[in-house]
Chains A and B, each alone.
Chain A
Amino acid sequence: MSVAIGTEAHGLGRRASARRRAASFAIPLLITVLAVAAVVALGFGAAGIPLSRLPAAFGLSGEGTAMTARDQLVLWSIRVPRIAATAMVGGLLAAAGAIMQGLFRNPLADPALVGVSSGGALAAASAIVLTDSRFGEMLRFLQTELLPLAAFAGSLATTALLYGISSRSGRTSIAVFLLAGVAITAIANAGIGLLVFVADDRQLRDITFWMLGSMSGVTWTKAAVLAPILVIGLIACAFIARGLDLLVLGEADAFHGGVDVERLKRISIVMVSAMTGVAVSISGVIGFVGIVVPHLLRLVIGPAHRLLLPASVLSGAILMVGADTLARTIVAPAEMPIGILTAAVGAPVFLVILLRQRGLASL
Chain B
Amino acid sequence: MSAVIEARGLRMRAGRATLLDGVGLTVAAGEMVAIIGPNGAGKSTLLRLLSGDLRPNAGEVRLKQRDISSYAPRELAARRAMLSQHINVTFPFTVEEIVLMGAGERRAREVGSLVYAALDEVGLTHFRERQLPTLSGGEQQRAHFARVLVQLACGEAEHGPGLLLLDEPTSSLDLRHQIDLVEAAGRRAAGGTAVIAILHDLNLAIRFADRLVVLAGGKLAADGSRADVVTREIIRDIFEIDAVVHRGEDGVPYVLPQSMRAAVAPR
From 214 to 269 in chain A, residues with beta carbon under 8 angstroms from any chain B beta carbon are: 242, 245-246, 248-250, 252-253, 255-261
Per-residue 0/1 for A161-172: is the Cβ within 8 Å of any B Cβ (1 yes, 0 no)? Answer: 000000000000
Name the residue of chain B whose CB is nearest to the CB of A360. Answer: B133
- Assembly CA distance A5 to B82 (angstroms): 30
Query: Is there an interface contact between A12 and B73, defined as CB atoms closer than 8 Å?
Result: no
Choose, from B2-10, B62-70, B94-102, B182-190, the stretch at the interface.
Answer: B94-102
Q: Is the interface of B mostly helix, strand, loop or mixed?
A: mixed
Query: Is there an interface contact between A256 and B125, defined as CB atoms closer than 8 Å?
Result: no
Q: Residue A1 contacts which of B84, B94, B101, B125 (CB distance < 8 angstroms)?
A: B125
Task: Judge whether A298 is part of the interface by a CB distance below 8 angstroms.
Answer: yes
Q: Residue A260 contacts which of B73, B78, B127 (CB distance < 8 angstroms)?
A: B73
B261 CB, nearest partner CB in chain A, Å: 39
Q: Residue B129 contacts which of A12, A105, A249 (CB distance < 8 angstroms)?
A: A12
Query: Is there an interface contact between B48 and A303, defined as CB atoms closer than 8 Å?
Result: no
- Would A9 and B93 be within 8 Å (CB), given that A256-B53, A259-B73 are in contact? no
A302 CB, nearest partner CB in chain B, Å: 7
- Assembly CA distance A304 to B91 (angstroms): 9
Give the size category of A's interface with B. 35 or more
B17 CB, nearest partner CB in chain A, Å: 14
Query: Is there an interface contact between B84 and A250, defined as CB atoms closer than 8 Å?
Result: yes
Question: What A residues does B51 contact at CB under 8 A?
Answer: 256
Query: Is there an interface contact between A303 and B91, defined as CB atoms closer than 8 Å?
Result: yes
Question: What A residues does B89 contact at CB under 8 A?
Answer: 248-249
Q: Residue A249 contacts which of B53, B80, B101, B104 (CB distance < 8 angstroms)?
A: B101
Give the size category of B's interface with A. 35 or more
Task: Judge whether B211 is part of the interface by a CB distance below 8 angstroms.
Answer: no
Name the residue of chain A whose CB is nearest to the CB of B48. Answer: A252
Query: Is there an interface contact between A9 and B130, defined as CB atoms closer than 8 Å?
Result: yes
- Would A303 and B93 be within 8 Å (CB), given that A3-B126, A12-B134 are in contact? yes
Question: What A residues does B90 contact at CB under 8 A?
Answer: 105-107, 248
B134 CB, nearest partner CB in chain A, Å: 7
Name the residue of chain B whose CB is nearest to the CB of A260. Answer: B73
Query: Is there an interface contact between B134 and A256, defined as CB atoms closer than 8 Å?
Result: no
Name the residue of chain A whose CB is nearest to the CB of B72. Answer: A260
- Assembly CA distance A249 to B148 (angstroms): 12
Task: Judge whether B16 is part of the interface by a CB distance below 8 angstroms.
Answer: no
Per-residue 0/1 for B212-235: is the Cβ within 8 Å of any A Cβ (1 yes, 0 no)? Answer: 000000000000000000000000
From 61 to 103 in chain A, residues with beta carbon under 8 angstroms from any chain B beta carbon are: none
Task: Judge whether B128 is part of the interface by a CB distance below 8 angstroms.
Answer: yes
Task: Judge whether B151 is part of the interface by a CB distance below 8 angstroms.
Answer: yes
Per-residue 0/1 for B250-264: is the Cβ within 8 Å of any A Cβ (1 yes, 0 no)? Answer: 000000000000000
Question: What B residues does A17 contact at CB under 8 A?
Answer: 129
From 291 to 322 in chain A, residues with beta carbon under 8 angstroms from any chain B beta carbon are: 298-299, 302-304
Question: What A residues does B84 contact at CB under 8 A?
Answer: 250, 252-253, 256
- Assembly CA distance A259 to B128 (angstroms): 24
Task: Judge whether A16 is part of the interface by a CB distance below 8 angstroms.
Answer: yes
Question: What B residues does A246 contact at CB under 8 A?
Answer: 101
Task: Judge whether A4 is part of the interface by a CB distance below 8 angstroms.
Answer: yes
Q: Residue A2 contacts which of B76, B91, B128 (CB distance < 8 angstroms)?
A: B128
Question: What B residues does A360 contact at CB under 8 A?
Answer: 133
Give the residue among A16, A258, A360 with the most B Cβ atoms within 10 A. Answer: A258
23 contacting pairs across A/B (C-beta < 8 A): A2-B125, A2-B129, A3-B126, A4-B126, A12-B130, A12-B134, A13-B130, A17-B129, A106-B90, A107-B91, A242-B105, A245-B93, A245-B97, A249-B87, A250-B87, A252-B48, A255-B53, A256-B84, A259-B73, A298-B91, A304-B93, A304-B97, A360-B133
**Chain A residues with a Cβ under 8 A of chain B:** 1-5, 9, 12-13, 15-17, 105-107, 242, 245-246, 248-250, 252-253, 255-261, 298-299, 302-304, 360
New A-B contacts (18) at CB < 8 Å, excluding given A13-B129, A13-B130, A258-B77: A2-B126, A3-B126, A9-B127, A12-B129, A15-B129, A107-B90, A107-B91, A245-B101, A246-B101, A248-B90, A248-B91, A249-B101, A257-B101, A257-B104, A258-B74, A261-B73, A298-B91, A360-B133
